[in-house]
C-alpha cells in the first residue's frame, strides 16, 4: 500500500438552511463559524482541528456526493467535560435528547453517549470516553 489515511480533515453536510444550521452548531455545540472561499459565500463550522462545510441543498458546491440530502447523516462528536453537564446544556438550548446516556463503542474504545438531532434531522451523537 503506497499510502494510508491519516485523519479526517473535514466533512460536508448538505443543509436546508445554512444560517439556521450554523447557528445551531455554534449555540449548542460551541463550534466556530467561519466564512471562506473566493467570494466569501462558503460557510464552515470549526472544532478542534476539523471542520464541517455546509452546502445549501440545491446549491451544492461541485464536486459533491451523488445524492446530497439534508438529514441523511449520523455524526459522533467527542466532548470534553461531564456528560451530565453536556446534557443539561443541550436541554437548556431547547434541544430534545433522543436517547441516552447509553454505552457505545467508538474508534478509540468505549464511550458513554447521548443523541440529539440538528435542524435538518441529522442524528448527532455526543460522547465521552469511558474506562
- Let me know if 125 is a catalytic residue: yes
Please give the C-alpha separations between residue 82 and each of 25, 63, 71, 78, in angstroms, as whole numbers.
19, 39, 28, 11
- How far is C-alpha 60 from the geometric centre of its chain's CA atoms? 18
| C-alpha–C-alpha distance, residues 118 and 2, integer Å | 38
Active-site choice (19, 69, 96, 125): 125
Q: Which residues are catalytic?
A: 125
Amino acid at each position: 500500500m503506497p499510502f494510508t489515511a491519516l485523519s479526517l480533515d473535514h466533512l460536508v453536510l448538505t443543509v436546508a438552511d445554512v444560517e439556521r444550521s450554523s447557528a445551531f452548531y455554534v449555540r449548542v455545540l460551541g463550534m466556530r463559524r467561519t466564512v471562506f472561499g473566493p467570494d466569501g459565500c462558503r460557510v464552515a463550522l470549526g472544532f478542534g482541528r476539523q471542520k464541517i462545510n455546509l452546502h445549501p441543498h440545491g446549491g451544492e458546491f461541485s464536486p459533491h456526493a451523488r445524492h446530497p440530502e439534508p438529514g441523511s447523516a449520523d455524526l459522533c462528536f467527542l466532548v470534553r467535560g461531564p456528560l451530565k453537564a453536556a446534557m443539561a446544556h443541550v436541554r437548556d438550548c431547547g434541544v430534545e435528547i433522543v436517547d441516552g446516556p447509553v454505552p457505545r463503542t467508538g474508534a478509540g474504545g468505549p464511550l458513554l453517549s447521548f443523541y440529539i438531532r440538528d435542524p435538518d434531522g441529522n442524528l448527532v451523537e455526543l460522547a465521552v470516553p469511558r474506562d
